[in-house]
A and B are shown apart, each in its own frame.
Chain A
Amino acid sequence: MTRLFLLALLLAGAARAQDPELEKRVSALSHELRCLVCQNQTIAESNAPLAVDLRNQVREQLAAGRSEQDVIEFLVARYGDFVLYRPPFKAATLFLWIGPFLFLILGSLVLYRRVRRRPEPPALSPAERERAAKLLE
Protein backbone atom coordinates (compact mmCIF):
# COMPACT_ATOMS: atom_id res chain seq x y z
CA MET A 1 0.00 0.00 0.00
CA THR A 2 2.73 2.44 1.01
CA ARG A 3 4.76 1.41 -1.98
CA LEU A 4 1.77 1.98 -4.24
CA PHE A 5 1.29 5.38 -2.69
CA LEU A 6 4.91 6.31 -3.24
CA LEU A 7 4.69 5.15 -6.82
CA ALA A 8 1.60 7.27 -7.34
CA LEU A 9 3.37 10.22 -5.78
CA LEU A 10 6.37 9.68 -8.01
CA LEU A 11 4.21 9.41 -11.09
CA ALA A 12 2.29 12.54 -10.12
CA GLY A 13 5.61 14.30 -9.63
CA ALA A 14 6.84 13.13 -13.01
CA ALA A 15 3.65 14.27 -14.71
CA ARG A 16 4.02 17.62 -13.00
CA ALA A 17 7.62 18.00 -14.09
CA GLN A 18 6.62 17.32 -17.66
CA ASP A 19 4.91 20.61 -18.15
CA PRO A 20 6.09 23.38 -15.86
CA GLU A 21 4.26 25.92 -18.01
CA LEU A 22 0.92 24.21 -17.35
CA GLU A 23 1.70 23.89 -13.64
CA LYS A 24 2.38 27.60 -13.48
CA ARG A 25 -1.03 28.34 -14.98
CA VAL A 26 -2.75 25.83 -12.70
CA SER A 27 -1.10 27.41 -9.68
CA ALA A 28 -1.91 30.96 -10.76
CA LEU A 29 -5.56 30.11 -11.36
CA SER A 30 -5.83 28.04 -8.17
CA HIS A 31 -4.76 31.06 -6.16
CA GLU A 32 -7.83 32.91 -7.48
CA LEU A 33 -10.32 30.24 -6.46
CA ARG A 34 -11.85 29.76 -3.05
CA CYS A 35 -11.95 26.39 -1.39
CA LEU A 36 -15.57 26.03 -0.30
CA VAL A 37 -14.74 23.68 2.53
CA CYS A 38 -12.26 25.92 4.34
CA GLN A 39 -13.62 29.18 3.13
CA ASN A 40 -10.70 31.41 3.91
CA GLN A 41 -8.24 29.46 1.83
CA THR A 42 -7.75 29.23 -1.88
CA ILE A 43 -7.81 25.83 -3.52
CA ALA A 44 -4.07 26.23 -4.03
CA GLU A 45 -3.47 26.45 -0.28
CA SER A 46 -6.04 24.00 0.97
CA ASN A 47 -5.58 20.28 1.23
CA ALA A 48 -9.23 19.49 1.70
CA PRO A 49 -10.26 16.65 -0.63
CA LEU A 50 -12.54 19.02 -2.54
CA ALA A 51 -9.65 21.45 -3.11
CA VAL A 52 -7.55 18.60 -4.49
CA ASP A 53 -10.41 17.58 -6.80
CA LEU A 54 -10.89 21.15 -7.98
CA ARG A 55 -7.16 21.60 -8.61
CA ASN A 56 -7.21 18.43 -10.71
CA GLN A 57 -10.26 19.75 -12.51
CA VAL A 58 -8.39 23.00 -13.25
CA ARG A 59 -5.29 21.13 -14.43
CA GLU A 60 -7.32 18.77 -16.62
CA GLN A 61 -9.29 21.53 -18.28
CA LEU A 62 -6.27 23.73 -18.90
CA ALA A 63 -4.37 20.73 -20.28
CA ALA A 64 -7.32 20.09 -22.61
CA GLY A 65 -6.74 23.53 -24.08
CA ARG A 66 -9.44 25.53 -22.31
CA SER A 67 -8.71 29.08 -21.30
CA GLU A 68 -8.58 30.44 -17.75
CA GLN A 69 -11.88 32.20 -18.41
CA ASP A 70 -13.52 28.92 -19.47
CA VAL A 71 -12.43 27.23 -16.25
CA ILE A 72 -13.65 30.14 -14.14
CA GLU A 73 -17.04 30.06 -15.88
CA PHE A 74 -17.23 26.29 -15.35
CA LEU A 75 -16.72 26.68 -11.61
CA VAL A 76 -18.94 29.75 -11.19
CA ALA A 77 -21.79 27.89 -12.90
CA ARG A 78 -21.52 25.20 -10.23
CA TYR A 79 -20.45 27.00 -7.07
CA GLY A 80 -21.49 30.59 -7.72
CA ASP A 81 -19.48 33.80 -7.44
CA PHE A 82 -18.40 32.70 -3.99
CA VAL A 83 -15.78 30.46 -5.57
CA LEU A 84 -13.96 33.55 -6.79
CA TYR A 85 -11.52 34.96 -4.28
CA ARG A 86 -11.94 38.33 -5.94
CA PRO A 87 -15.67 39.02 -6.12
CA PRO A 88 -16.88 40.37 -9.48
CA PHE A 89 -18.00 43.99 -9.69
CA LYS A 90 -21.77 43.94 -10.15
CA ALA A 91 -24.97 45.29 -8.62
CA ALA A 92 -25.03 42.79 -5.75
CA THR A 93 -21.42 43.48 -4.80
CA LEU A 94 -21.48 47.23 -5.40
CA PHE A 95 -21.46 48.11 -1.71
CA LEU A 96 -18.68 45.63 -1.08
CA TRP A 97 -16.45 47.36 -3.58
CA ILE A 98 -17.26 51.02 -3.02
CA GLY A 99 -18.23 50.75 0.67
CA PRO A 100 -14.70 51.31 1.99
CA PHE A 101 -14.29 54.41 -0.18
CA LEU A 102 -17.65 55.74 1.02
CA PHE A 103 -16.51 55.33 4.60
CA LEU A 104 -13.22 57.02 3.77
CA ILE A 105 -15.03 60.03 2.30
CA LEU A 106 -17.47 60.13 5.21
CA GLY A 107 -14.64 59.94 7.73
CA SER A 108 -12.66 62.69 5.99
CA LEU A 109 -15.72 64.95 6.00
CA VAL A 110 -16.30 64.44 9.71
CA LEU A 111 -12.62 65.00 10.43
CA TYR A 112 -12.52 68.15 8.27
CA ARG A 113 -15.54 69.63 9.99
CA ARG A 114 -14.23 68.88 13.44
CA VAL A 115 -10.83 70.38 12.71
CA ARG A 116 -12.37 73.50 11.26
CA ARG A 117 -14.72 73.94 14.16
CA ARG A 118 -11.96 73.75 16.75
CA PRO A 119 -11.91 77.16 18.53
CA GLU A 120 -8.99 79.45 17.81
CA PRO A 121 -6.52 79.63 20.70
CA PRO A 122 -7.19 82.79 22.70
CA ALA A 123 -5.06 85.72 21.63
CA LEU A 124 -2.30 86.73 24.03
CA SER A 125 -2.30 90.09 25.68
CA PRO A 126 0.86 92.20 25.19
CA ALA A 127 1.89 91.45 28.78
CA GLU A 128 1.53 87.71 28.26
CA ARG A 129 3.49 87.96 25.02
CA GLU A 130 6.32 89.63 26.79
CA ARG A 131 6.33 86.96 29.49
CA ALA A 132 6.33 84.19 26.90
CA ALA A 133 9.23 85.81 25.05
CA LYS A 134 11.17 85.94 28.30
CA LEU A 135 10.48 82.34 29.08
CA LEU A 136 11.58 81.27 25.64
CA GLU A 137 14.87 83.12 25.76
Chain B
Amino acid sequence: MRRTLWIAFFFVALVALLAAGLTLNPREVPSPLVGKPAPHFELPLLHTPDKTFSQKDMLGRVWVLNVWASWCPPCLIEHPVITELSKSIPVVGLNYKDAREDALPWLKRNGDPYQLTVYDADGRIGIDYGVYGVPETYVIDRKGVIRYKHIGPVSPEAAQRKIRPLLEELGK
Protein backbone atom coordinates (compact mmCIF):
# COMPACT_ATOMS: atom_id res chain seq x y z
CA MET B 1 0.00 0.00 0.00
CA ARG B 2 2.77 2.40 0.96
CA ARG B 3 4.63 1.48 -2.19
CA THR B 4 1.65 2.26 -4.38
CA LEU B 5 1.36 5.63 -2.67
CA TRP B 6 5.01 6.35 -3.34
CA ILE B 7 4.71 5.42 -6.99
CA ALA B 8 1.59 7.56 -7.33
CA PHE B 9 3.41 10.44 -5.66
CA PHE B 10 6.36 10.18 -8.04
CA PHE B 11 4.06 9.93 -11.01
CA VAL B 12 2.13 13.05 -10.02
CA ALA B 13 5.37 14.94 -9.34
CA LEU B 14 6.73 13.95 -12.75
CA VAL B 15 3.55 14.99 -14.52
CA ALA B 16 3.61 18.32 -12.67
CA LEU B 17 7.23 18.90 -13.68
CA LEU B 18 6.60 18.09 -17.34
CA ALA B 19 3.40 20.14 -17.38
CA ALA B 20 5.29 23.14 -15.99
CA GLY B 21 7.93 22.61 -18.67
CA LEU B 22 5.32 22.65 -21.41
CA THR B 23 4.03 26.05 -20.38
CA LEU B 24 7.47 27.62 -20.74
CA ASN B 25 8.33 29.24 -24.03
CA PRO B 26 11.86 28.29 -25.12
CA ARG B 27 11.93 31.38 -27.33
CA GLU B 28 11.74 33.61 -24.29
CA VAL B 29 15.33 33.81 -23.24
CA PRO B 30 15.81 36.13 -20.27
CA SER B 31 17.81 39.07 -21.54
CA PRO B 32 20.86 40.13 -19.53
CA LEU B 33 20.19 43.64 -20.80
CA VAL B 34 17.16 44.29 -18.61
CA GLY B 35 18.24 46.65 -15.84
CA LYS B 36 21.29 47.80 -17.80
CA PRO B 37 21.78 51.04 -19.72
CA ALA B 38 20.60 50.79 -23.31
CA PRO B 39 23.67 50.13 -25.50
CA HIS B 40 24.98 53.15 -27.32
CA PHE B 41 24.23 53.73 -30.97
CA GLU B 42 24.40 56.58 -33.42
CA LEU B 43 22.59 55.62 -36.58
CA PRO B 44 21.33 57.37 -39.70
CA LEU B 45 17.60 57.90 -39.97
CA LEU B 46 15.63 55.75 -42.34
CA HIS B 47 13.90 58.69 -43.99
CA THR B 48 16.77 61.18 -43.96
CA PRO B 49 20.10 59.31 -44.11
CA ASP B 50 22.15 62.46 -43.58
CA LYS B 51 20.71 62.89 -40.08
CA THR B 52 21.59 60.63 -37.18
CA PHE B 53 19.92 59.69 -33.94
CA SER B 54 21.37 58.32 -30.73
CA GLN B 55 19.69 56.63 -27.78
CA LYS B 56 21.16 59.51 -25.71
CA ASP B 57 18.79 61.92 -27.43
CA MET B 58 15.96 60.34 -25.42
CA LEU B 59 17.49 60.77 -21.96
CA GLY B 60 14.94 62.19 -19.56
CA ARG B 61 12.05 60.54 -21.33
CA VAL B 62 10.41 57.15 -21.12
CA TRP B 63 10.30 55.61 -24.57
CA VAL B 64 9.91 52.41 -26.53
CA LEU B 65 12.39 51.01 -29.03
CA ASN B 66 10.79 48.69 -31.55
CA VAL B 67 12.98 46.55 -33.81
CA TRP B 68 11.28 45.77 -37.11
CA ALA B 69 11.89 44.94 -40.75
CA SER B 70 9.80 44.87 -43.89
CA TRP B 71 10.76 41.20 -44.44
CA CYS B 72 9.32 40.16 -41.10
CA PRO B 73 5.68 38.98 -41.18
CA PRO B 74 5.19 39.05 -37.38
CA CYS B 75 6.07 42.75 -37.49
CA LEU B 76 2.93 43.27 -39.49
CA ILE B 77 0.93 41.35 -36.90
CA GLU B 78 2.06 43.57 -34.04
CA HIS B 79 1.82 46.73 -36.12
CA PRO B 80 -1.65 47.77 -34.84
CA VAL B 81 -0.49 47.23 -31.24
CA ILE B 82 2.62 49.37 -31.76
CA THR B 83 0.49 52.00 -33.47
CA GLU B 84 -1.83 52.05 -30.48
CA LEU B 85 1.11 52.32 -28.07
CA SER B 86 2.60 55.17 -30.08
CA LYS B 87 -0.41 57.33 -29.27
CA SER B 88 0.65 57.59 -25.64
CA ILE B 89 4.42 57.06 -25.69
CA PRO B 90 7.25 57.95 -28.08
CA VAL B 91 8.12 54.88 -30.10
CA VAL B 92 11.41 54.81 -32.00
CA GLY B 93 11.77 52.24 -34.76
CA LEU B 94 14.98 50.36 -35.42
CA ASN B 95 14.85 49.09 -38.97
CA TYR B 96 16.90 45.90 -38.82
CA LYS B 97 18.83 44.42 -41.77
CA ASP B 98 16.44 45.85 -44.26
CA ALA B 99 16.71 47.79 -47.50
CA ARG B 100 15.52 51.38 -47.61
CA GLU B 101 13.60 50.75 -50.82
CA ASP B 102 11.62 48.02 -49.02
CA ALA B 103 11.28 49.66 -45.62
CA LEU B 104 9.96 53.04 -46.76
CA PRO B 105 7.09 51.63 -48.88
CA TRP B 106 6.26 49.27 -45.98
CA LEU B 107 5.73 52.27 -43.71
CA LYS B 108 3.72 54.03 -46.39
CA ARG B 109 1.53 50.99 -46.88
CA ASN B 110 0.94 50.12 -43.24
CA GLY B 111 1.22 53.49 -41.55
CA ASP B 112 4.18 54.94 -39.70
CA PRO B 113 3.70 54.88 -35.92
CA TYR B 114 7.31 55.83 -35.21
CA GLN B 115 8.47 59.17 -33.97
CA LEU B 116 11.49 58.35 -36.09
CA THR B 117 13.17 55.24 -37.41
CA VAL B 118 16.89 54.54 -37.37
CA TYR B 119 18.45 52.37 -40.02
CA ASP B 120 20.63 49.44 -38.93
CA ALA B 121 21.55 48.00 -42.33
CA ASP B 122 24.05 45.37 -41.22
CA GLY B 123 22.41 44.48 -37.90
CA ARG B 124 25.37 45.53 -35.77
CA ILE B 125 23.33 47.54 -33.33
CA GLY B 126 20.91 44.63 -33.31
CA ILE B 127 23.69 42.44 -31.93
CA ASP B 128 24.45 45.04 -29.25
CA TYR B 129 20.80 44.89 -28.23
CA GLY B 130 20.80 41.08 -28.27
CA VAL B 131 18.26 40.96 -31.08
CA TYR B 132 17.60 37.48 -32.42
CA GLY B 133 13.95 37.31 -33.28
CA VAL B 134 12.51 40.37 -34.98
CA PRO B 135 10.30 42.03 -33.85
CA GLU B 136 11.67 42.95 -30.45
CA THR B 137 10.49 45.73 -28.21
CA TYR B 138 12.32 47.53 -25.41
CA VAL B 139 10.98 49.87 -22.76
CA ILE B 140 13.63 52.39 -21.72
CA ASP B 141 13.28 54.68 -18.74
CA ARG B 142 14.27 58.31 -18.13
CA LYS B 143 17.79 57.35 -17.15
CA GLY B 144 18.29 55.35 -20.32
CA VAL B 145 18.01 51.99 -18.60
CA ILE B 146 16.25 49.08 -20.32
CA ARG B 147 13.35 48.07 -18.11
CA TYR B 148 11.64 45.47 -20.24
CA LYS B 149 12.36 43.48 -23.36
CA HIS B 150 9.73 41.72 -25.39
CA ILE B 151 10.75 39.14 -27.98
CA GLY B 152 8.43 38.47 -30.88
CA PRO B 153 5.26 40.34 -31.77
CA VAL B 154 3.65 42.29 -28.94
CA SER B 155 0.14 40.94 -28.53
CA PRO B 156 -2.65 43.23 -27.34
CA GLU B 157 -2.63 41.22 -24.08
CA ALA B 158 1.11 41.68 -23.57
CA ALA B 159 0.76 45.41 -24.20
CA GLN B 160 -2.09 45.59 -21.71
CA ARG B 161 -0.64 43.37 -19.03
CA LYS B 162 3.06 44.16 -19.17
CA ILE B 163 3.96 47.25 -21.15
CA ARG B 164 1.15 49.62 -20.12
CA PRO B 165 1.51 49.03 -16.36
CA LEU B 166 5.27 49.46 -16.65
CA LEU B 167 4.87 52.74 -18.54
CA GLU B 168 2.39 53.80 -15.90
CA GLU B 169 4.89 52.96 -13.16
CA LEU B 170 7.69 54.79 -14.92
CA GLY B 171 5.42 57.80 -15.20
CA LYS B 172 6.02 58.14 -18.92
Contacts and interface: CB of A to CB of B under 8 A. Distances in A.
B116 interface: no
A60 to B, nearest CB: 10
A111 B16 CA distance: 25
Contacts of A39: 26-27
B25 to A, nearest CB: 11
A137 to B, nearest CB: 43
Interface of A: 36-37, 39, 49-50, 53-54, 57, 76-80, 82
Contacts of A50: 123, 132
Nearest to A57: B127
Contacts of A49: 97, 123
A37 B133 contact: yes
A79 B29 CA distance: 8
Interface of B: 26-27, 29-33, 97, 122-123, 126-130, 132-133
A112 to B, nearest CB: 16
A53 B133 contact: no
A78 B29 contact: no
9 contacts: A36-B29, A36-B133, A37-B132, A37-B133, A49-B97, A54-B127, A57-B127, A78-B33, A80-B29
Counting chain B CB atoms within 10 Å of each CB, which of A76, A77, A78, A79 scores highest? A78
A50 B132 CA distance: 7
A50 B130 CA distance: 11
